[in-house]
Amino acid sequence: MSIHREGHGIIIVTGLIAVAINLPLAIITKSTFLAVMVALLSTVVILAFISFFRIPHRDFRLENNKIIAPADGRVVVIEQVEEGEYFKDKRIQVSIFMSPANVHVNRSPVSGVVTYQKYHPGQYLVAWHPKSSEKNERNTVVIEHQDGIEILIRQIAGKLARKIRYYVSEGDSIDQANEFGFIKFGSRVDLFLPLGTSIDVDLKQKVKGGITVIGTLPDKA
């Protein structure tokens, strides 16, 4: 396991604050109980940040015609919708809710070329809210597979998430399961897939980024 670069600064600053609070308290306080409780609380906070920014070792599942989960979490939406930002037509939406306990690295579900990328500032509705895909802070990435099929991935900030990171731009090439972004704290990732995509997950199913197969790409018409 390693720690994501987005967490290095937060963990170091939190550790320094913990030392600045606990060291003087241990020296001046007459209450051993208070000193121990503050030390335990500080430790819990630091461990929580380490857990949140963790990157566990994984042997990724790489299959050219498969769509791999872009994030850890639970499937909360599988439905046909009208995608209005890029495709402007009907697509199959699969949404994955990421709790603060999940790994928050976002990985490319397919290999291909980034044909569209746009960041949108916005609100901070709870990530499972039906309007969060349209109103929350979000970042949209479209990847064109080598077969010419495009899929859209949307990173959505939740009630706790206050910063979306993305590491790709239009014209970039990316391999399946490679990291393309990170969302700090609870959040959601939406996939918009072509009609005819065979979906291999169910509602409420837990998925793992880079491992769980979401579906199979349809043959290009």
Residues catalogued as catalytic: 187
Write down the residue that tokens 């043959």 correspond to: 219
Q: 49 Cβ partners below 8 Å, 6+ apart?
A: 7, 10, 11, 14
The DSSP element (H or E) to which 156 belongs, if any, is strand 150-157
Output the six-digit token pair for 16. 């320094």
Q: Contact at 8 Å (CB) between 184 and 167? A: no
Pairing of strands 89-98, 187-193: antiparallel
* Distance between CA atoms of residues 166 and 176, nearest Å: 16
Buried b (16+ CB within 10 A) or exposed e, 71-94: bbbbbbbbeeeebebbbeeebbbb
Write down the residue that tokens 């109103």 correspond to: 135
* Distance between CA atoms of residues 153 and 140, nearest Å: 6
Output the six-digit token pair for 196. 């005819």
